[in-house]
Amino acid sequence: MQIAMNEYIEVNMIGIVLLMTMLLYELKSHRKLENEEEGCFVAMIVINALILASDIGIYVMRGFAAEQLILLNHFFCVTYFTLHGWFCYTWMKYVLKKLYPRFRGKGILEALVMMPAIVLTAVAFASPFEGLLYTLTADNDYHRGPFIWVPIAVAIMYYCITTIVAAREMIHPGRSRELAEYMVIILFPLPIFVGNVIQMENYGLSVVWVMSAIAILILFIDKQNQQLSKDGLTGLYNRSHTNAQLAWEIRNLKGADHMLMVMMLDIDDFKSINDKYGHLEGDIALTFAADVLKKNCRRTDYVGRYGGDEFLVIGRVHSAEDADRIEQRIQRGIVAANKDSMLKVPLAFSIGYELCKPSDNVTMDAVLDGADQKMYEVKRKRYMFR
């Protein structure tokens, strides 16, 4: 199947424009790329765009037999195949950071995650000499090599692992995310797989990485939808979304094999921070407190900003001791964080929680009121003994 050069370039350029639009938005919205998840997403956009640009270069070089242009085409080909592996590696890192924010891949684990991409890189760099992934004729015409299956195998390996990880979390009884978040991860490779099938069956047609750009666009739209449920200052879930999650947990409590923990927290003397140092320092304190909660709550806990300096943690436990351990870990976390902080005033939490059994007749108002009263009882006792 012969594809006219203009049409070939036009399709790839559409993908590049699409990716660059998303990149500009991401850089404008997240100038500091606050977390590794965001950094991985931006890296995927850049790598995908570079692959499309390399693909254009390979196609444009066809028929130009000058030695320098053949060398340039080798550069495009090696870049094209090398970036295949690193795109998939970056996707896997994105999934791991999204599902496990505290994940730190180091040592042997990181080496294992990188290994398929490293192997593909080695095969790509050997290809100009050994013709493994591709060959270039004397007329600078590209042809597939006998090991063209290696990039596909590497991609399948990465995508299968991420799909299994996401599916495992999706069916976990303690999952704290909506079903749609997992489905986006599971379905991400589907457009790329379809593109591979089309491309392998139609030699000369390049659609895999345009389909990848479309998959990234779907991921991008999902990210924007999630932002609507997040508090703009702290990045935690907002009150509306937190209430929805709590209502869902209560509806599904009957017959469960766990208790529902609803933990209310607020920052002690927060008003005095605003009054004495201004609202900017107050915002810094809120962000600091949110980071402590993100780092010290379990990955299955649902953490939201409930309003002002109040936060809500929703989790599944099997005993009061489990809830006590979560509370103690948060308290230790705020003490430890204060030691390394630049805050003008060290922060402290007052914490109260309510436990609901599957046999209880639970209402959202009652459980929130119970947690709130226990939190203020803790605060009252603390101020009494000052």
Q: What is the pLDDT of residues 248-262, one digit of tens each?
A: 888 888 888 889 999
Q: What is the pLDDT of residues 262-285, one digit of tens each?
A: 999 999 988 889 888 898 999 999
Mean pLDDT, rounded, of the chain? 88
Same domain, 75 and 126: yes
Whether pLDDT at 359 is above 90: no
Residue that wins the pLDDT comparison between 196 and 55: 55
Same domain, 221 and 249: no
Whether pLDDT at 385 is above 60: no
pLDDT more than 90, % of the chain = 53
Same domain, 149 and 288: no
pLDDT for 330 equals 94
| The model's pTM | 0.70
Whether pLDDT at 375 is above 50: yes
Residue 293 CA to residue 330 CA, distance in Å, equals 7
Residue 377 falls inside a structural domain: yes
Q: What is the pLDDT of residues 294-339, one digit of tens each?
A: 989 987 888 999 988 999 999 999 999 999 999 999 999 999 999 8
Residue 289 falls inside a structural domain: yes
Cβ atoms of 41 and 188 closer than 8 Å: no
Crossing angle between the packed helical segments 208-227 and 189-201, to the nearest 10 degrees: 170
Whether pLDDT at 2 is above 50: no
Whether pLDDT at 128 is above 50: yes
- Geometric angle at alpha carbon 56, from 50 and 61, rounded to 5°: 125
Residue 272 CA to residue 201 CA, distance in Å, equals 68
Residue 170 CA to residue 377 CA, distance in Å, equals 37
Whether pLDDT at 221 is above 50: yes
4: confidence class by pLDDT, cuts 50, 70, 90:
low
pLDDT for 256 equals 85
pLDDT for 54 equals 95
pLDDT for 1 equals 40
Residue 370 CA to residue 355 CA, distance in Å, equals 9
Choosing from 172, 200, 227, the residue where a domain stops is: 227
Residue 232 falls inside a structural domain: no
Rounded mean pLDDT of 17-30? 87
The alpha carbon dihedral of 35, 37, 39, 41 has a sign of negative
Residue 107 CA to residue 286 CA, distance in Å, equals 34
CATH assignment at residue 131: 1.20.1070.10
Residue 233 falls inside a structural domain: no
- Structure token pair of residue 233: 């200052």
Cross-strand pairs, 313: 263, 303
Whether pLDDT at 227 is above 80: no
Same domain, 170 and 67: yes
Helix (H), strand (E), coil (C) string for the chain:
CCCCHHHHHHHHHHHHHHHHHHHHHHHHHCCCCCCHHHHHHHHHHHHHHHHHHHHHHHHHCCCCCCHHHHHHHHHHHHHHHHHHHHHHHHHHHHHHHHHCCCCCCCHHHHHHHHHHHHHHHHHHHHHHHHCCCEEECCCCCEEECCCCHHHHHHHHHHHHHHHHHHHHHHCCCCCCCCHHHHHHHHHCHHHHHHHHHHHHHCCCCCCHHHHHHHHHHHHHHHHHHHHCCECCCCCCECHHHHHHHHHHHHHCCCCCCCEEEEEEEEECCHHHHHHHHCHHHHHHHHHHHHHHHHHHCCCCCEEEEEECCEEEEEEEECCHHHHHHHHHHHHHHHHHHHHCCCCCCCCCEEEEEEEECCCCCCCHHHHHHHHHHHHHHHHHHHHHCC
Residue that has been written with the tokens 């790598």 in this structure: 47
Q: How many domains does the chain have?
A: 2
Residues of the domain holding 61: 5-227
Nearest partner of 229 among 246, 220, 241, 218, judged by Cα: 241
Q: What is the pLDDT of residues 40-91, one digit of tens each?
A: 999 999 999 999 999 999 988 988 989 999 999 999 999 999 999 999 999 9
Rounded mean pLDDT of 94-103? 78
CATH assignment at residue 311: 3.30.70.270
Residue that has been written with the tokens 């895999």 in this structure: 208
Same domain, 122 and 156: yes
